[in-house]
């Protein structure tokens, strides 16, 4: 579907001027999205092999204070969420 500059201007002029700020904000949002898309590298998704090759893999392998890594990760997430809820309640 092709839209001309005249089509856009006609629609804008048919809109209550009190709503123009919303139109402008949306245009600025679209421009920001376009800028981000242009600077974001087009990278393929990581494969399982890519993840295995990461330097961080096994980073905590020698830690003897962790024990079961799944339980440890759950505990860290719970503590983080608990702190956030307490902080929000304290305001």
Taking the whole predicted model, whether its pTM rises above 0.75 is answered as no
What is residue 22's predicted lDDT score, i.e. its pLDDT? 93
Report pLDDT digits (tens) over 19-43: 999 999 999 999 998 888 777 666 7
Could you state, in order of their start, the residue ranges of all structural domains in the chain?
5-39
Is 66 within 8 Å of 60 (Cβ atoms)? yes
What is residue 90's predicted lDDT score, i.e. its pLDDT? 57
In whole angstroms, how large is the CA radius of gyration of the chain? 25
Tokens describing residue 19: 């709503």
Mean pLDDT of the chain: 83
**Averaged pLDDT in 10-residue chunks for the chain of 91 residues:** 93 95 93 81 78 75 78 87 65 54
């Amino acid at each position: 579907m092709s839209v001309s500059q005249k089509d856009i201007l006609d629609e804008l002029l048919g809109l209550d001027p009190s709503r123009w700020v919303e139109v402008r904000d949306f245009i600025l949002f679209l421009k920001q999205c376009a800028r981000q898309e242009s600077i974001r590298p087009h990278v393929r998704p990581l494969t399982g092999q890519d993840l295995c090759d990461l330097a961080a893999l096994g980073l905590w392998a020698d830690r003897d204070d962790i024990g079961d890594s799944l339980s440890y990760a759950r505990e860290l997430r719970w503590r983080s969420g608990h702190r956030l809820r307490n902080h929000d309640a304290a305001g």
